[in-house]
């Protein structure tokens, strides 16, 4: 008995199985990007023409790490997103109530503000560092 007809049938079945590729799902929105910025620093939002800038800390009432507080307090940071020609959109985020905003078609979330305050040390405004996540907002397409 020859195994040749079996090999031919197997080869045909394999070829037919491979000829129908699965349809690919359309690409979703770009992944959330984590960006760390110092005061007055900006960075490109990966995969987009936009830039995000951390201007400064507007206010910082966070509880110092070396004392006991009744409330945690909050830090408020000023940002800009430049996603179009001719100007940038300014906005503020804080560590408590308004951690996230949609600006120029991007969702920006304030993850952290450092350094942590101490009761005996005044933080130099230039030493602040923020960490944010940035992603394209699925409800809005950023302008080109």
Indicate the length of the chain as a whole number.
144
The tokens for 82 are: 């430049």
84 pLDDT exceeds 50? yes
pLDDT at res. 88: 87
In the chain, where are the structural domains located? 30-136
Quick one: what percent of the chain has pLDDT higher than 70? 74
Least confident of 6-20, 101-115, 125-139: 6-20
Q: Residue 94 above 50 pLDDT?
A: yes
Q: What's the 3-state SS for 30-68?
A: CCCEEEEEECCEEEECCCCCCEEEEEEEEEECCCCCCCC
Query: Any idea which architecture 30-136 has in CATH?
Result: Sandwich (2.60)
Strand order in the sheet with 100-103: 33-38, 129-136, 106-114, 100-103
Residue with tokens 């950023």: 142
More confident residue, 82 or 4: 82
The rounded mean pLDDT for the chain is 82
Tokens of 55: 């201007």
The C-alpha atoms of residue 106 and residue 97 are separated, in whole angstroms, by 19
- Between CA 129 and CA 28, with CA 103 as vertex, the angle to 5 degrees is 100
pTM of the model: 0.73
Which of 131, 72, 74, 134 has the alpha carbon at shortest distance from 101?
134
Under the banding of pLDDT at 50, 70 and 90, the label for residue 138 is confident
- With H, G, I as helix, E, B as strand and everything else as coil, classify residue 92: strand
pLDDT, tens digit, 9 for 90 and up, residues 65-75: 999 999 889 99
Please tell me the distance from the alpha carbon of residue 87 to that of residue 30, in angstroms, as a whole number.
24
């Amino acid at each position: 008995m020859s195994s040749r007809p079996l090999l031919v049938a197997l080869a045909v079945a394999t070829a037919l199985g491979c000829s129908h590729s699965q349809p690919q799902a359309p690409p979703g929105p770009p992944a959330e990007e984590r960006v760390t910025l110092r005061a007055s620093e900006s960075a490109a939002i990966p995969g987009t023409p936009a830039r995000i800038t951390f201007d400064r800390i507007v206010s910082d009432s966070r509880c110092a790490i070396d004392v006991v507080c009744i409330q945690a307090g909050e830090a408020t940071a000023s940002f800009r997103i430049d996603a179009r020609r001719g100007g940038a959109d300014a906005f503020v985020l804080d560590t408590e109530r308004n951690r996230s905003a949609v600006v120029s078609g991007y969702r920006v979330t304030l993850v952290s503000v450092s350094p942590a305050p101490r009761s005996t040390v005044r933080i130099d405004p230039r030493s602040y560092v923020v960490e944010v996540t940035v992603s394209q907002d699925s409800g809005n397409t950023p302008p080109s």
